[in-house]
Amino acid sequence: MPKQKLNPLPSAAFQILLALVGKDLHGYGIMRNVAEQTEDRMRLGPGTLYSSIRALLEEKLIEEVDHTSDSNAKDERRRYYRLTSTGRKLARSEAERLADLLRVARAKNMLRGDYV
């Protein structure tokens, strides 16, 4: 299967990486986290979510983890995902890229206040 291009990193993939920082999540968990961290501006549907997950898995930016022994994981059909160190680095560099963009925007007086 051909790999999805993650360069530049699509917004949905970046949000998924951010959602997985510090915790393993299943698909619905990711969906909710993304909705929460974007204040409901991004609501991932199954198609976007799993095509992004597949691309991130293929690029080894996230990995599947076994949570069947977890007492909280009532439903064994759910697959859990974890951020890899490569994924963490990519998310950080993407965040820095966005921060740089914000600095430029601020330098051009497009924004007011201390956003960065």
Partner 1 sequence: MSETIFRLLFRLYPSRFRQEYGDEAMQLFRDPARDETGMWPSVRLWCDLLTDLVITIPREYGHTQPEVAGAPAKVCLDGTPTFFVFETTSPGRRPLLLGGLLSLITLVSFPKLMNEFGNSRPPTGWTFASPGAYEKQVEESQRQASQSEQSVGQAQPSTSPPLDAASRHRIIENAIASIKQHHLDHSEAQEAADALLSHERRGDDDGATSTEEFASLATKQLREATGDSELVLLYSTHDIPERMPGPPPPLPAAYGDEMQRINCAFERVEILPHNVGYLKLNAFPDVSVCQATAAAAMTKLNDADALVFDLRDNRGGFPSMVSLIAAYLFDHPEYMYCPLENTTAESWTHSPVPGNKLASKPVYILTSSRTISAAEQFTYNLKMLKRATLVGETTAGGGHAANLHSVGDNFYVGTIEVRAINPYAKSDWNDTGIEPDVKVKALDALKAALSLVDKRQHVN
| 74 interacts with partner 1 by CB under 8 A | no
Considering beta carbons, is residue 10 or 94 the nearer one to partner 1?
Answer: 10
In the complex, least distance from residue 49 CB atom to partner 1, rounded to whole angstroms: 7
CA-CA distance, 52 to 62, in Å (whole number)? 11
Contacts of residue 56, defined as CB under 8 A and 6 or more positions apart, other chains included, come to 6, 13, 16, 17, 62, 87
Question: Given the complex with partner 1, which of 54 and 103 has the nearer CB atom?
Answer: 54
| Side-chain-facing half-sphere of 59: CA atoms under 13 Å | 22
Contact residues toward partner 1 (CB under 8 A) are: 1-2, 4, 26-28, 31, 43-51, 53-54, 75, 77-79
